[in-house]
Each structure stands twice: as structure tokens, then as C-alpha cells.
Amino acid sequence: MIKLKINGQEQSWDGDPDLPLIWLLRDEIGLTGTKFGCGQALCGSCTVIVDKEAVRSCITSVKDVAGREVTTIEGLHPTGDHAVQKAWRQANVPQCGFCQAGQIMQAAALLMDNPKPSHDQIREAMSGNICRCGCYQRIENAVHLASTGV
């Protein structure tokens, strides 16, 4: 039996310990905000925060997060008003929106680590997250907005 905390709640799993975390979240618990995009940590759609670090839940097995604290997009802020979420709305970032939860989690982790990232630091930190619609200019603007308030 593996125990972990997801969005502040105790959860346990007694199935395959090698199950990628994404499927525990999406299929077993029903936290579908975390998206499946590639399964190989290439696109960042499945990004969640484990303790204070952004990880790709598609290649992170449940046993690897035993006893740790997982935050998904649903748990980022109780009313969805994290600075990054607000900036995202202000900058009208999304098109189809599918990659955006992963982008937002990545951006939130970046700002925890580096509250005032430079232009190049934003582009580097966000480069693991693909947006096929091509919202990059707005993603960059939104991260900047979330970090500076302007």
C-alpha cells in the first residue's frame, strides 16, 4: 500500500506500484485536469508539482512519490486565483487549452524557485512544455505578468 498526499488529501494505492502517477490521478482518482500528451516527458502536458518541484507525471511512478505531496492544477489555488492563473486569464493565453494546465504548473514551479525570471529564463524554464496551438508569445507574457504584476 502506497500512501501519498494529493492536493492536501491523503490517498493510497494498492495496485501496480510502477503505475505512472498520471493514471492514478486521472483514471483512479478522477483529477482529469492533468493531461496526457506524450507519455515520455516530452511535452509537459502532465506536469504536476511534487513538493516544490515540477515533474512529469507520465514518467513518474506512484512508488516514486510515496509519502510526498503532489499538487495538481485542481489544487494549485482553492478558487483558481493563483497569480499565474490570473495572469493567464488576463493575457488571454489559451487557444484549445489542453496543454495549459501543464504550462501553468510549470510556470508556478518556476516562480516558486525564481520569483523574477528574465525573458530568457522564462523561455528556458518553459521549453519542456509544448503548445501545438502556438500560444508561446502569450505564455511568456503571462509568466512575466505573474512575476511582476505588470
Whether the Cβ atoms of residue 48 and residue 71 lie closer than 8 Å to each other: yes
Give the strand pairing for 69-71 and 53-56: unpaired
Beta carbon of residue 55, minimum distance to other proteins (angstroms, whole number): 16
The number of beta carbons lying within 10 Å of the beta carbon of residue 129 is 23
Beta carbon of residue 49, minimum distance to other proteins (angstroms, whole number): 13
Residue numbers 63-92 binding other proteins by CB under 8 A:
72-74, 76, 80, 85, 88-89, 92
CA distance 119 to 121: 6
5, 36, 63, 68: which one binds other proteins (CB under 8 A) = 36
* 118 contributes a contact to other proteins by CB under 8 A: no
Convert residues 4-33 into a mask of x (bound to other proteins by CB under 8 A) and - (unbound). -----------xx-xxx-xxx-xxx-xxxx
Whether the Cβ atoms of residue 43 and residue 37 lie closer than 8 Å to each other: yes
